[in-house]
Homo-oligomer: A and B are copies of this chain.
């Protein structure tokens, strides 16, 4: 391989992380900028350039690079545009791949951030030899990447794999930004765990709980985890309930694409078996017998941001082989 490096960029709702990746799949240098402090996308790209270009120069300059891969919310692999991303400041359709390509003079490809993480997992993580798996990111929201026959599922328009917005409790809890009722994301995210905590504390006013020592603002998935580890009953019930909803959803996904594994990423996975055990139990209970005890339910071996940077960079390694 003549060129030896690729850039991977992971645009998140709060922070944009980027790194220089060598052809062994190692991130040799990385940095970050805020995602949402720029009114127009051109200012964001100027900031990115200021930090990233010196990194590219240190690795030998643009001639040593195959290109730039970007993962972003609502990133469309077909068009290279970010389209109506609810968590980003830049509204409408943003031709980010074109803008970055012109700025850096490097071939640039874009995909959905969750899909980028799935590609990272496939190339460098727990799913290295798997052709069928699903990644689920349990963060502020719930993201997903679906791999079938070794390829990311993007659908006819590039937007496939929005599993966090599938409905698992019709008529249930309303999602703050989409307005939908009963979507997976409204329960099995950090935000969802917080809401469940508030609900359970309100519904059982008589039951003592360590969680009552926290103010409403301090009630987070982390504080629920800490209380659960100290044996708090309500805190444990919160994870049991979250795992139930997640497990039921995963069962539906398994009956769709029959993956060999489901890989969980993101902040909620810090709860370990507190979230894994009920999820697995309720997934198995909702599967037809032919699917039972077959699907590996595992945590990612990669740091979430690393997976996304690696996966994004993989977009342009592939392109070079065309």
Instruction: Name A's B-contacting residues (CB within 8 A).
Output: 74, 83-84, 130-132, 146, 148-149, 151, 153-163, 165-170, 178, 180, 248, 251-253, 255-260, 286, 288-291, 294
Q: Which of A83, A156, A159 has the most CB of B within 10 A?
A: A156
Q: Whole-angstrom distance from the CB of A241 to the nearest CB of chain B?
A: 12
Least CB separation from A151: chain B residue: B149
Chain B contacts for A84, CB-based, 8 A: 289-290
A155 touching B257, Cβ below 8 Å: yes
Least CB separation from A256: chain B residue: B256
B159 touching A290, Cβ below 8 Å: yes
Chain B contacts for A248, CB-based, 8 A: 167, 170
B252 touching A157, Cβ below 8 Å: no
Least CB separation from A132: chain B residue: B156
Q: How many copies does the complex hold?
A: 2
Q: Whole-angstrom distance from the CB of A289 to the nearest CB of chain B?
A: 7
B289 touching A258, Cβ below 8 Å: no
Identify 28 residue pairs between A and B in the complex whose beta-carbon atoms are under 8 Å apart, listed by A's number: A83-B290, A84-B290, A132-B156, A153-B256, A153-B258, A154-B258, A155-B258, A156-B260, A157-B258, A157-B294, A159-B258, A160-B256, A160-B257, A160-B258, A161-B258, A162-B288, A162-B291, A163-B255, A165-B288, A166-B251, A166-B252, A166-B256, A167-B252, A167-B286, A170-B248, A180-B286, A180-B288, A253-B256
Q: Whole-angstrom distance from the CB of A255 to the nearest CB of chain B?
A: 4
Chain B contacts for A256, CB-based, 8 A: 146, 153, 160-163, 166, 253, 256-257
Chain B contacts for A288, CB-based, 8 A: 162, 165, 178, 180
List the 4 shortest-distance A-B pairs measured between CB atoms, nearest first: A155-B258, A160-B258, A132-B156, A156-B260
A169 touching B166, Cβ below 8 Å: no
Least CB separation from A282: chain B residue: B170
Chain B contacts for A159, CB-based, 8 A: 258, 290-291
Q: Cα distance A162–B169 when bound, in Å?
A: 20
Q: Cα distance A251–B183 when bound, in Å?
A: 11
B149 touching A131, Cβ below 8 Å: no
Chain B contacts for A163, CB-based, 8 A: 255-256
Q: Whole-angstrom distance from the CB of A17 to the nearest CB of chain B?
A: 25
Please give 15 more A-B residue pairs, beta carbons under 8 A apart, in addition to A131-B156, A165-B255, A167-B168: A74-B290, A146-B257, A149-B151, A156-B258, A160-B256, A161-B256, A162-B256, A166-B251, A166-B255, A166-B256, A167-B248, A167-B286, A168-B170, A180-B286, A253-B256
Q: Whole-angstrom distance from the CB of A301 to the nearest CB of chain B?
A: 19
Q: Whole-angstrom distance from the CB of A229 to the nearest CB of chain B?
A: 28
Q: Whole-angstrom distance from the CB of A185 to the nearest CB of chain B?
A: 11
Chain B contacts for A132, CB-based, 8 A: 155-156
A170 touching B167, Cβ below 8 Å: no
Q: Whole-angstrom distance from the CB of A46 to the nearest CB of chain B?
A: 28
